[in-house]
Structure 1
Amino acid sequence: MAKSIVYKHYQRILTHWPHDLLRPEISFQKAMQRRIDTRLRPSPTDPADNVVANQAQATVPTKVAFDEKGELEQVNVLYSFLEDRYMKTYPLSEKMMRPASNPGYYEALVKELNEAPTRSWFGSMVKRWKGFLRFS
């Protein structure tokens, strides 16, 4: 019963988790789904199936016992990231977001991160070369 509740929480988190536009080939959802499948689904093999011809036991990774409290704590942490609880609890001040040494740094960084996923290969190479060759 507890496994199904934890499993439902994980599935809800994964459906609401945002996709990474900068690295679409690396998916947090897929990595978490593999982890959930190995931790929460029962193992299809019986330990007796791991006996080889000479009656020696083959070494297989042992499944860690299910810890409901620990899994629910991990679910709570994922929910806190999903809901931006830490951003709401500890908001960044204007002074932090606009350092005296380079006030426009974070604005330029956000602009660059928003443009990067839609940039073509040629555009990426031009941007890279502009970074190498600075004429000022």
Structure 2
Amino acid sequence: MSSSVAYKHYIRALSRWPKDALRPDCQFQDVIRRRVDKRFLPVEGQKPADEKAELEEVNALYSLLGNRYAQKYRITGDLMKPQSNPTHYTDLIHEMEAVPNRTWWGNMTNRWKGFLRFK
């Protein structure tokens, strides 16, 4: 384990990162953790990590974790309700929430609904 401040911040931020229900076998925090371990854990012949640059990257990770940009640049007005399909984004969010809990049969019926579109 590294004694670097940036390494400790990485580990803390990644422990708070939410799990991705859509891709349970490929989590963002696992990928970043492997990268961080490779960068910070000592290997012979490897130059040490640039602490300042790594702290800037950790700051960006904390920014994403805290939703800093979503709060700073709020989406307002009709941007989330396009005239061609006003419920597009609400339908998309509803679908994303339903996918992890859907059964095999639900997946198959949904696929067939996509093939057969009746109006």
Shorter chain as normaliser: what TM range?
over 0.9
Q: Give the fraction of aligned pairs with identical amino acids, expressed as a percent.
A: 47
The counterpart of 1:80, out of the listed 63, 68, 81, is 63
Q: Distance in 2 between matches of 1:25 and 1:100?
A: 37
User: Once superposed, which parts of structure 1, at least 4 consecutive aligned residues long, lie more than 3 Å away?
Assistant: none
Q: Distance in 1 between matches of 2:3 and 2:54?
A: 9
Q: 1:3: Cα distance to partner?
A: 5.3
After superposition, give the CA deviation of every residue in 1:32-65 in whole Å (9 maximum; x if it has no partner): 111111100101xx46xxxxxxxxxxxxxxx354
Letter in 2 for 1:41: L
Question: Structure 1, unaligned stretches of length 5 or more?
Answer: 48-62
Question: Structure 2, unaligned stretches of length 5 or more?
Answer: none
Question: Which has the larger Rg?
Answer: 1
Corresponding position: 1:111 with 2:111: no
Q: Distance in 2 between matches of 1:15 and 1:99?
A: 37
Q: 1:120: Cα distance to partner?
A: 0.7
**What is the root-mean-square deviation in Å for CA atoms of aligned residues?**
1.5
Aligned ranges for residues 43-62 of structure 1 at < 5 Å?
43=43, 46=44
> How many residues are paired up?
118
Corresponding position: 1:93 with 2:76: yes
Q: Distance in 1 between matches of 2:14 and 2:69?
A: 19
